[in-house]
Amino acid sequence: MVNPKLREMKRHYFFYLFFVLLGVTACKQKVYLTVYEPAAVFLEKEYETVGVINRTYSSGATKVLDVVDNALTLEGNLDHKGSKSAVTGLYDQLTVNERFKRVVMLDSMTVKDGGIDIFPAQLEWDEVQRICDENQVQLLFVLEVFDTDTKVDVTPGTTTKNTPLGQVTVPTSDATMTTKIKTGWRIYDPKNKWVRDEFWLQDRMVQRGRGTVQTFGTLAKRGQAVTQLSMQIGRFYAGRVENQAFRVWRNYFKSGSRNLRTAKRMSEVGDWDGAAQLWEEDTKSPKRKVAGRACYNMAIYAEINGDLYGALEWAQKSYSKYGNREAKNYANILRRRVQRWEENQRRKEVDDQN
């Protein structure tokens, strides 16, 4: 039997924890902003022409394994269809990237004894150079791996239906099909004999059907779903050579002083400059909590205006001088953003000098 006093203590503890969390949440306001990150794969401005190749077709012993794998996992020829869609998505996205003046879809290639879901050996550099010369491109974007793995769980059951003869029991089934798509990509730079990027990209989809007819319909539609998702994967990979814009949210403090409360209302109508004036006043408050919150909010204001160094400085001050715990995590986020930006700037400076 549970001790009544212990039960009462637990009840009070949970009430206390609830009100603490409620208080923390109640003193913050959420704002969404757009942040910009440099491309995951940096390409110098000299690279303006690229070729796209599908190299996922296997030959030799792996061809036999691939056929067996398809038969056992219900793929059929989904790998071929999916890989074509993936390189099409890559090609389409590269063509809308303004930095590239020429994007060429090249013939597919077979790789002898390539792995089903592992990277094959790299293309020989002489071969890469030959392909680039013949097609007047500087880089090759190559889909090296494409593998689908489909699993179907069917649960039999029964249901009742009204008929002229009354209610009858009929068999039915629920089908859940999970398809995983695994892709591997490389970017070949023959000038520098350098694989610019070697990257795995995976995704999955889940489809469900109820009833005998719906179950078979779910299985029949998986090909269309695979090709659509594969095209999205290809588009996503093309984004690794583009600067990226992300929508993120930040919490800022809305209570603790008259200025913080007033600034909260000003921010709600888009008057961030006015709110920042009040926050800056509160950074000089004799109350440590108020000053720490105001410094934190000034970091938010600086990030909104694209001043990463200013944002980092305010966040560090909020934590180091006033002990604002939220500012510690925020400073780490900002520090990583600054490091990525500085690395990208160094690359651009080297590129401009060449």
294 touches 280 (CB < 8 A): yes
Distance CA 330, CA 98 (A): 34
What is the reported pLDDT for 177? 78
Tens of pLDDT, residues 20-63: 344 444 578 889 888 888 999 999 999 999 999 999 987 644 44
73 touches 125 (CB < 8 A): no
Which residue ranges make up each domain of the chain? 49-150+179-244, 251-353
pLDDT at 135 over 60: yes
Tens of pLDDT, residues 85-101: 999 999 999 999 999 99
CATH class in words for 49-150+179-244? alpha beta
177 touches 78 (CB < 8 A): no
Tens of pLDDT, residues 285-341: 999 999 999 999 999 999 999 999 999 999 999 999 999 999 999 999 999 999 999
DSSP string, 160-209: EEEETTEEEEEEEEEEEEEEEEEEEEEEEETTTTEEEEEEEEEEEEEEEE
What percent of the residues of the chain are helix, what percent strand, and what percent coil, each to the nearest 5? 50, 30, 20
CATH class in words for 251-353? mainly alpha
pLDDT at 351 over 80: no
Confidence of residue 223 (pLDDT cuts 50, 70, 90): confident
